Amino acid sequence: MNGTLSEEKRTFVELAPYTTFRIGGPADIFYIVTTEDQLYDIAEKHLDMSITVLGGGSNVLVSDSGVRGVVVKMNITGITYEDHGDTITVVAGAGETWDTFVENTITHGAFGLENLSGIPGTVGASPIQNIGAYGVEVKNTIAWVEVFDKKTLERKQLKADECEFGYRESIFKKPEGKSYVVTKVAFTLSKTFQPNVAYKDLNLFFGDVSPNSALEVRNAVLSVRARKMPNLSECGTAGSFFKNPIISEEKSLLLKEQYPDIPVFSDGTGLFKIPIAWILDNVLHLNGFREGNVSCFKSQPLVVCAHSGATAHEVDEFAKKIESQVYDATGIVLEREVQIIS
């Protein structure tokens, strides 16, 4: 493609400033990319090395020893809108900041993402994680995802059903999709605002009054999230550290016997979702629990906070202790949302 790199190759760049945990050692080689051509050039130049892509750094814990190989900071931006009658197709570069993008869609009269306001990270991370919050999953709005294969150096466009979306899951987290780098995402959004406020926190916020606009819903979500998330000026965090467990009906009934007040939600497939925050709060009483430089946030124990001086090793050990306590109390094996990279 003969692109021009956005900057010269940099070596031994500390990655802590590029993550919301503010933790992590150096990358052997580091680039910032703003175009797909630059990404192609980097991949072609380093075919014999591993390439790790960072978006907003909001769902990763970087090893204290850093990351071997090449790290690419994804800064491909740009947003376009295409009218299709009742719907609008919005295409965004993977490096767009997610929450700014959500605000932009509302401003342009494209609705459906307002419940996902306030989620940290980039547009490119949204299909990888199949982000979700307050009764909405991003998979239900994605039309297609454009990817660059860093092994074959090919571009592909994957339709939504090819992305193998599941709960905080996608093809991009599986072996067959590990070589894909998300460069653009297309969303099909509605021109008609339809409030989705059935989720408990939003239902309590609005009460009997239905919101009149997507902006009202966005502001409500931001208000609710502000009570549950620490300010990044106070501590580093990647938000929710663990996935909500998906369990069998038999297991859910056993937990109901053990803890009668535990909330249990059907996922529509015969399995049941347990809000792990309820267990951390009501069973283990971990709100505000702290060991060394790491703690559970006082208002939401699902959020792990890294205080000044914290290391990735400390965060990992802290998370392991929580996992052990949950298993001892419930028999549930927790899965992490946060990915460790090294």
Q: Do 184 and 89 share a structural domain?
A: yes
Query: For the segment 285-332, what is each residue's pLDDT rounded down to a tens digit?
Result: 999 999 999 999 999 999 999 999 999 999 999 999 999 999 999 999
Query: For the segment 71-100, what is each residue's pLDDT rounded down to a tens digit?
Result: 999 999 999 999 999 999 999 999 999 999
| Residue at which a domain ends, from 31, 52, 74 | 74
Q: Do 92 and 29 share a structural domain?
A: no
Q: What mean pLDDT do residues 271-284 have? A: 95
Q: Do 284 and 270 share a structural domain?
A: yes
Q: What mean pLDDT do residues 196-217 have? A: 94
Query: Shortest CA distance to 221 belongs to which of 116, 84, 97, 327?
Result: 116
Q: Do 135 and 18 share a structural domain?
A: no
Q: Domain tally for the chain?
A: 3
Q: Do 87 and 43 share a structural domain?
A: no
**What is the reported pLDDT for 7?**
55
Q: Is residue 267 part of a domain?
A: yes
Q: At residue 195, does pLDDT exceed 70?
A: yes
Full residue range of the structural domain in which residue 52 is found:
10-74
Query: For the segment 91-138, what is each residue's pLDDT rounded down to a tens digit?
Result: 999 999 999 999 999 999 999 999 999 999 999 999 999 999 999 999
| Residue at which a domain ends, from 59, 74, 89 | 74
Q: Do 279 and 171 share a structural domain?
A: no
Please state the pTM of the whole predicted model: 0.91
For the chain, what is the mean pLDDT?
94
Q: Is residue 230 part of a domain?
A: no
Which residues does the annotation mark as catalytic?
168, 240, 337
Q: Is residue 214 part of a domain?
A: no
Q: Do 103 and 65 share a structural domain?
A: no
Q: Is residue 5 part of a domain?
A: no
**What is the reported pLDDT for 228?**
87
Q: Do 148 and 47 share a structural domain?
A: no
Q: Do 259 and 176 share a structural domain?
A: no
Q: Do 152 and 63 share a structural domain?
A: no
Q: Is residue 18 part of a domain?
A: yes
CATH of the domain at 175: 3.30.465.10
CB 317 within 8 A of CB 109: no
Q: Do 290 and 262 share a structural domain?
A: yes
Q: Do 159 and 112 share a structural domain?
A: yes
| Residue at which a domain ends, from 74, 101, 127 | 74
Percent share of the chain, pLDDT over 70 = 98
In terms of DSSP bridges, do strands 60-62 and 339-341 run parallel, antiparallel, or are they unpaired? parallel
